[in-house]
Amino acid sequence: MSTVLKVAGVTKIFGGLTALDSVSFELEKGKVLGLVGPNGSGKSTLLNVLSGVYRPEDGSVTLHDRNVTGLAPYLITTQGMARTFQNLQLFQGLSVGDNVLVGRTCRMSSTLVGSIFGSSFSRKEEREAKEQARSLLSLVGLDRFINEPPSMLSYGQRRLLEIARALASSPSVLMLDEPCAGLSQGEADELAAFIRTVSAQGTSVIVIEHNMRFIMGLVDHIVALNFGRKIAEGDPRSIRENEDVIAAYLGRKKRHAEN
């Protein structure tokens, strides 16, 4: 397997608070990586660094052997990383289909003049973008809502719409920030199946999630954080049994410290 994303020694400081302390990991093509840790451990901050919202004080982010550290978010998207947010960020004034089309704009090269006057290239590109939007909506079971506003969707369906919009940019790395928030167990199971389909098609996925049943049954690899530091890394079984992870979540002391 080839390494798609390499995070090396990433450090982020806010005032006197070190939110990330030299965090490193790698992600292979088509693999699903889980980021876990208690509240305040640095998970969302790390995603914000990877997506260009924050610039790290130290360390690097390499995507396909290209250093993307500190690039603007839209540039990182064009390089091949897309994300969803913990709080839904849909365009309520646009239809479901147009929400997905927004995610495709970074891959469209028509000029403003060409779009205004309807050049053949512009029309072809727009037609292909609409076909892709419909295909993605079909993949998440929302194609029947293509002309409806997002308000017509259930909460779980809105989550899927946001993921479809992120996929419209044809990312090699898809980052999901707490995608199970507000979902029923049945909806979470359906989401897990969808993420497996996405990864099987070659897209690497990073998932932040507090639903440990969801994470343990989905991911190939886990990175655990606490107080901004990586405290463990490995497959789901090894992380489940890791004493540092148990201590971080449950506040227990490690066994050797108790004896």
Residues 118 and 143 in one domain: yes
Residues 183 and 254 in one domain: yes
pTM: 0.87
pLDDT for res 184: 85
Residues 51 and 129 in one domain: no
d(CA 216, CA 236): 6
Residues 175 and 253 in one domain: yes
Residue 43 lies in a domain: yes
Residue where one domain finishes, among candidates 158, 181, 202:
158
Residues 66 and 178 in one domain: yes
Closest C-alpha among 73, 242, 82, 255 to residue 171: 82
SS3 sequence of 150-163:
HHHCCHHHHHHHHH
For 196-223, write each residue's pLDDT tens digit. 999 999 999 999 998 888 999 999 999 9
d(CA 121, CA 171): 23
Residue 88 lies in a domain: no
Q: Note whether 183 and 214 are within 8 A (CB).
A: no
Which tokens belong to 234? 């490995």
For 226-239, write each residue's pLDDT tens digit. 999 999 999 999 99
- Sign of the alpha-carbon dihedral angle for 137, 139, 140, 143: positive
Residues 191 and 223 in one domain: yes
Check whether 27 has a pLDDT greater than 80: yes
SS3 sequence of 48-114:
HHHCCCCCCCEEEEEECCEECCCCCHHHHHHHCEEECCCCCCCCCCCCHHHHHHHHHHHHCCCCHHH
Residues 63 and 179 in one domain: yes
In this structure, what CATH number is given to the domain that contains residue 238? 3.40.50.300
Q: Average pLDDT for residues 34-42, to the nearest whole number?
A: 93
Residue 163 lies in a domain: no
Q: What is the mean pLDDT of the chain?
A: 88
Residues 254 and 178 in one domain: yes
Residue 91 lies in a domain: no
For 165-177, write each residue's pLDDT tens digit. 999 999 999 999 9
Residue 85 lies in a domain: no
Residues 153 and 177 in one domain: no
Residues 197 and 127 in one domain: no
Residues 62 and 189 in one domain: yes
If pLDDT is split at 50, 70 and 90, which confidence band does 111 have?
very low
d(CA 246, CA 37): 10
User: 142: domain range?
Assistant: 96-158
Number of folded domains in the chain?
2
Residue 235 lies in a domain: yes
Residues 248 and 180 in one domain: yes
pLDDT for res 89: 79
Element (H, E) at 19: strand 17-28
Residue 164 lies in a domain: no
- CB neighbourhood size of 37 (10 A): 24
Check whether 241 has a pLDDT greater than 50: yes
